[in-house]
Amino acid sequence: MSDAWIYGERNSEETSRLLAELGFSPHRVAANGTLRPPDADSRAPALALVLAAGLEQPSCAELCARLAADEELGEVPVLVALGPGALAEGVGVSEGHELLVEPFTAEELQARIARARRAVHGIDHDDIVRVGDLEMNLATYQVAIDRRPVDFTYMEYELLKFLVTHPQRVFSREALLSRVWGYDYYGGARTVDVHVRRVRAKLGSEHAARIKTVRSVGYRWEGT
Amino acid sequence: MTGRQSLHTVRGVTGHREFVLRTVEERGVRFIRLWFIDVLGLLKSFSIPVSELETALEDGVGLDGSSLEGASRLREYDCIAHPDPRTFQVLPWKPDSLVARMFCDVCQPDGEPFGGDSRAMLRRVLEQAAGLGYTMQVGCEVEFFLFGALGANGASPVTLDDGAYFDLTPLDVGSDFRRRTIEYLERIGIPVKASHHEVAPSQHEIQLAHTDALSMADSVTTFRIAVKEAAHELGAYATFMPKPLAAYPGSGMHLHISLFQGERNVFHDADPGEPLSPTGRAFLAGVLAHAGELTAVTNQWINSYRRLATGFEAPEFVSWTRRGAAALVRVPSRRPGRVEGARFELRSPDPACNPYLVLALVLAAGLRGIERGYELQAESIDDEAAGAPRLPLDLREATDLFDASELARETLGDRLCDVFVANKRRELADERRTVTEFDRSRYLRLL
């Protein structure tokens, strides 16, 4: 289940419930200026939701800027939920990747989340990322090329998923190791090269070429 | 850190399990093969239906541990096989009813690794190396024969072609076979660097791209079955027997070894005149110093020594070289700027070895060389191995050296060593009682 982190106090319980209904695992971040909830088990959530009403220190704008600047949280889709009437004041309107105004329904939240994820990661509303005839279904862990299933191991899948959902950006081996594998892994940084080679072999020549080796830096996914 | 715990260091167990369960459901996998490795490196397998998968992932599956002990098993041991979800892979052959495999860690009922599990032993050595900041990378060139049919009961098998080294033989079944094999390997996540026809008729070589040692041992195991499957589908038979044809070179499995600290290849020396860094030289010195003790695992069958006896790129002496073809170890010349390419090539192993034990002992010997500052002997020039010790001549000598090896016992544990030695002594005793073609051709008329 994907994590969703909630910033801000106002209506956070109700929002947690809505997110849980949508299949997320909600975690509330304490209002003491930290960026990470105490009880999360992943390094980056699928989603961050900022409840802007009543946020003072840090402000909504500051918070969004810090999330964007954080090395691990930089590409987390951010939704900003404004309090009723806030639109007129214009505060927070330009922050985050997608906007909501309280009160909102589960359906509206779902649609906004889908828009934010699509904007950031290219993930369609049905949880499928499509690149040419390559389809990655993030809900079922299945990958298909030209509708034919391709069988990956879990780590190969996770690596491909990370690259595909962060297109056009170069990641070093260390960054991939820490963000895909998550912890120290005794395979060492060469593990990344080995997995890239395996993923390329399974993708076949057309899609394999989308994983670019950036000499003495790392790897980049060319999504278009 | 035990093997079970180290699973938690990679994204937690839950993600892996969910992936396995979901993939089985989505892909319509019918059976799961649980793979484990016996002391001789032979792949053992049992199947569970999908309905048992969740329980198997949670609690493991009961197993008689003596099934890991080859022909020398004496009594049953209750063990638990824990499938490693990281190794879950749908098998590319048998497309009509989908089958997936997972390698297992075999544990005692109290959760400790079972002393007869060579995969667990390799993992233990890798964790020790990781504790020192090292990871070993291994590339592999596997040779094998593809025969049209096996002769009845020991008669010579039928070769499929008269091709030779790097020949392109477009009309033979071999190139079809190599294409199919490589496709299987890639679909199962074993990247192939190159493949070509080898020196002997019907002999092939496939090079596996470098990876960490545990993945390479798993890859070699998977490779052997993928090759046999591909051959079987074409009505042929593939064998990794080290020396099937008396008149032609045998099959080797050259290992390309390098050692990394993080992203840095510690075998690399900035001076292009130096084949290896001081750390690399000490590691190699360790491997050479213990080469005799290692031979029982690099060349573990009576037949292995028929390959070593005939030259043909098979080493007889403990020596190293940059250019020659006969040394035990070759240090390939480096292309300028290719830091990651610094490595040495160990040429004694054959493809019928237990890759888990070979890699565990090679790494342990190399680390000992570093730890104790072993000095590397002089390079052998033009295949002159003057003064270099010779490798064991036969399995008996190799087994004696292994049996007495403090390095092997410390690395693999007494239990595994004893079981291995018992298997080899039994093989030797069987051979001693066998009347062979050699006996008859030499003595029948003469005496």
Question: Domain holding A181: CATH number?
Answer: 1.10.10.10
Cβ atoms of B331 and B276 within 8 Å: the answer is: yes
**Predicted local distance difference test score (pLDDT) of residue B67:** 84
**Cβ of A173 and B126 within 8 Å?**
no
B126-435 fold: Creatine Kinase; Chain A, domain 2 (3.30.590)
**Cβ of B215 and A187 within 8 Å?**
yes
Across residues B190-207, what is the average pLDDT?
79
Q: For residue B26, give how far its alpha carbon lies from the nearest alpha carbon of chain A (Å).
A: 7
Complete DSSP assignment for B107-136: E-TTSSBPTT-HHHHHHHHHHHHHHTT-EE
Across residues A139-153, what is the average pLDDT?
91
Q: Are residues A137 and A105 in the same domain?
A: no
**Cβ of B90 and A151 within 8 Å?**
yes
**Predicted local distance difference test score (pLDDT) of residue B140:** 95
Query: Which structural domain, as residue segments, surrounds residue A177?
Result: 128-221
Across residues B420-435, what is the average pLDDT?
95
**Predicted local distance difference test score (pLDDT) of residue A32:** 77
Q: Are residues A115 and A8 in the same domain?
A: yes
Q: Give the integer Cα–Cα distance in Å for B55 and B323.
A: 55
- Look up the pTM and report it: 0.83
Q: What is the overall mean pLDDT for chain B?
A: 87
Q: In B239-275, which positions are buried (b, 16+ CB within 10 angstroms) versus exposed (e)?
A: bbbbbbbeebbbbbbbbbbbbbeebebbbbbeeeeeb
Q: Are residues A9 and A116 in the same domain?
A: yes
ipTM of the complex: 0.72
Q: For residue B355, give how far its alpha carbon lies from the nearest alpha carbon of chain A (Å).
A: 17
Rounded to the nearest 10 degrees, the angle between the axes of helix A12-21 and helix A106-121 is 70
Confidence of residue B10 (pLDDT cuts 50, 70, 90): very low
Tell me the CATH class for B3-114: alpha beta
Q: Which helix (H) or strand (E) holds B106?
A: strand B99-107
Q: What is the CA radius of gyration of chain A?
A: 18
Q: DSSP letter at A178? A: I
Q: Are residues A74 and A150 in the same domain?
A: no
* Residue A128: strand, helix, or coil: strand
CATH of the domain at A114: 3.40.50.2300
Shortest CA distance to B307 belongs to which of B353, B344, B262, B341?
Answer: B353
**Predicted local distance difference test score (pLDDT) of residue A31:** 75
Q: Are residues A117 and A152 in the same domain?
A: no
Across residues A128-155, what is the average pLDDT?
91
pLDDT over 50 at B7, yes or no: no
- Residues of chain A contacting residue B209, judged by C-beta atoms under 8 Å apart: 194, 197
Distances (CA, A) of B387 to B5, B77, B285, B339, B346: 47, 47, 16, 32, 20
Among chain B, residues having any CB pair with chain A shorter than 8 Å are 6, 9-12, 15-16, 18-20, 22-23, 26-27, 85-90, 92, 126-127, 129-130, 135, 137, 186-187, 189-192, 209-212, 215, 260, 262-263, 340
**Cβ of A184 and B9 within 8 Å?**
yes
The last residue of a domain, from among A121, A148, A166: A121
Mutate which of A2, A25, A141, A213 to disrupt the B interface (most B C-beta within 10 Å)? Answer: A141
**Cβ of B27 and A151 within 8 Å?**
yes
Mutate which of B128, B263, B339, B343 to disrupt the A interface (most A C-beta within 10 Å)? Answer: B263
Number of independent structural domains in chain A? 2
Counting residues of chain B whose pLDDT is more than 90, the rounded percentage is: 56
The last residue of a domain, from among A121, A138, A166: A121
Confidence of residue B73 (pLDDT cuts 50, 70, 90): low
Across residues B44-71, what is the average pLDDT?
89
Q: Are residues A45 and A149 in the same domain?
A: no
**Cβ of A85 under 8 Å from any chain B Cβ?**
no
Q: Are residues A41 and A112 in the same domain?
A: yes
Cβ atoms of B102 and B119 within 8 Å: the answer is: no
Q: In chain B, which residues fall in CATH 3.30.590.10?
A: 126-435
Q: Give the integer Cα–Cα distance in Å for A6 and B84.
A: 35
- Residues of chain A contacting residue B187, judged by C-beta atoms under 8 Å apart: 150-151, 202
* B445 phi, psi to nearest 5 deg: -85, -35
pLDDT over 70 at B326, yes or no: yes
**Cβ of A142 and B27 within 8 Å?**
yes
The last residue of a domain, from among A99, A121, A143: A121
Q: In chain B, which residues fall in CATH 3.10.20.70?
A: 3-114
Q: Give the integer Cα–Cα distance in Å for B419 and B412.
A: 11
Q: For residue A23, give how far its alpha carbon lies from the nearest alpha carbon of chain B (Å).
A: 15
